Amino acid sequence: MNSSRGITIERHFIDQQELHPEASGELTRLLHQLAFAAKMITKEVRSAGLSDILGEAGHMNVQGEVVQKLDEISNDVIYRSMDHAGVLCCMASEERDEMIAIPKEFRCGKYTLAFDPLDGSSNIDANVNVGTIFSIHKRVTPEGTPGQVEDLLQPGRKQVVAGYIVYGSSTMMVYTTGHGVNGFTLDPTIGEFLLSHPNMKIPPRGKYFSVNMGNRHFWSEGVRRYVDHLTTPNKELGTPYSLRYIGSMIADVHRTLLYGGIFMYPMDYKDPQNPKSKLRLLYEAAPMSMVVEQAGGLSTNGRMSILDVQPKGLHDRVPLFVGSKEEITDLNHFIEKYNVI
Ligand code: P6P
């Protein structure tokens, strides 16, 4: 029997809602809109190579119009799908410096949405998998008032929904409401997301590690020694692991979720006085970490679970290590021993 049994994502949203008798249906409406936006962005991504919307913004397309970059188009698709739904009080996007308010003419809801409209978009010209990442919290300021930045600045552990849409050989939507992880594959012939990966679980240990080895000399000693451990032949330990790195975090983490192993974007000590991280907490690290932890994996910034990191700003960056439970546990032993992340 096919595991999807023809269960559409809309049916799954309703099933999830029925787990919460007190539910108002607002969250279900939000998820419906996200699935709709995913189909719209799929259309744009699939036709990108043909309709001259690749590359930098500002150039003119064949119709003589100013062309937006695909990530800006994706940003607008999500904004337009969500702003009038009456379920959000505010949003945050990688593409916008400030908090995105809900237009006055629309009702303010009780949720917030933080999103990366098209993660990995720098690779889109090379036809590499890209994706949309989303994170939903319940507001903390009084209902009926305009949303505030503090509604968005909540730790990942308080997410009510986290997930992503990966635009690859097929479009998949993977999400959790805190009761496990489920994956849906878009059937383009009927325009429906069908349950293809029920109750996803990450293997406790994998055979792959995923990191940009070009930055090896800029990592802390703990991380460098851990990666050296992974690449030193040892039959008993099952090393060396294989390196898989696409340079599109959503694709690298999605593969890690399916096959096991570890994805890393460590702190960069190129300037020891001013160490830097690259990945964003609110709409990249926190939602992806919630999905992986809900699937039985772990995440860390080198000190604590990503889900316990308190955001200070909408675009905070964090070191990210996420993957199989046993890999993160091994990494932590190296970090503790050398005491730097
Ligand atoms: P690097 C893509 O641009 C991105 O934001 C993530 O999706 C990806 O993991 C990372 O940057 C890749 O960065 O420095 O290895 O090219």
The domain ranges of the chain are 2-197, 208-338
Cα separation, 171 vs 190, in Å, equals 13
**Tokens 């802390």 sit on residue:** 220
Whether the domain at 2-197 and the domain at 208-338 fall into the same CATH topology: no
For ligand 1, atom 5, the nearest C-alpha belongs to 120
60: pLDDT strictly greater than 70: no
Mean pLDDT calculated for residue range 25-42: 93
Residue 59 pLDDT greater than 70, yes or no: no
Of all protein residues, whose CA lies closest to atom 10 belonging to ligand 1?
A: 247
Instruction: Say what the pTM is.
Output: 0.93
**Minimal-distance CA residue to ligand 1 atom 13:** 247
The number of the ligand 1 atom at minimal distance from the alpha carbon of 263 is 9
* pLDDT (average), residues 255-264: 98
What average pLDDT score do residues 213-240 get?
95
pLDDT digits (tens, 9 = 90+) for 311-330: 999 999 999 999 999 999 99
- Is residue 160 scored above 60 in pLDDT? yes
| CB-side neighbour CA atoms (13 Å) of 41 | 38
Q: Which is more confidently placed, 73 or 49?
A: 73
Q: What pLDDT is recorded for position 209?
A: 98
Q: Who lines ligand 1 at CB under 6 A?
A: 119-120, 122, 212, 247-249, 265, 278
The rounded Å distance from CA 279 to ligand 1 centre is 8
Instruction: Write out pLDDT tens, residues 71-100.
Output: 889 999 999 998 788 899 999 999 999 999
Q: Which atom of ligand 1 is nearest to the CA of 119?
A: 7
pLDDT at 137 over 50: yes
CATH no. of 208-338: 3.40.190.80
pLDDT the model gives residue 57: 63
pLDDT at 161 over 60: yes
CA-248 nearest atom, ligand 1: 7
Helices (H), the chain: 9-17, 26-47, 70-82, 149-152, 221-231, 249-259, 286-294, 325-338
**At CA 277, angle to CA 75 and CA 178, rounded to 5?**
60
Mean pLDDT calculated for residue range 29-46: 93
> What span, in angstroms and rounded, lies between the C-alpha atoms of 189 and 187?
5
Is pLDDT at 310 greater than 70 in this prediction? yes
Q: Which residues pair with 114 in a beta bridge?
A: 92, 135
Residue 194's H or E segment, with its range, is strand 192-197
- Mean pLDDT of the residues in the chain: 91
Cβ within 8 Å of residue 261, ≥6 positions away: 206, 207, 208, 209, 210, 241, 244, 323, 324, 327
On whether the CB atoms of residues 32 and 87 are closer than 8 A, the answer is no
Average pLDDT over residues 187-211: 96
d(CA 232, CA 234): 6
Ligand 1 centroid to Cα of residue 94, in Å, is 14
Is residue 1 predicted with pLDDT exceeding 50?
no
**Of all protein residues, whose CA lies closest to atom 1 belonging to ligand 1?**
247
Helix count and strand count (H, E) for the chain: 8, 13
Whose structure tokens read 């060396």? 240
CA of 120 to the centre of ligand 1 (A): 6
SS3 (DSSP) at 298: strand
How far apart, in whole angstroms, are the C-alpha atoms of residue 27 and residue 125? 35
State yes or no: pLDDT of 177 exceeds 70.
Answer: yes
pLDDT bucket at 123, cuts 50 / 70 / 90? confident
CB neighbour list of residue 30: distance below 8 Å, 6 or more residues apart: 82, 85, 87, 88, 109, 111, 113, 136, 161
Indicate the class that CATH gives domain 2-197: alpha beta
Maximum alpha-carbon separation in the chain: 64
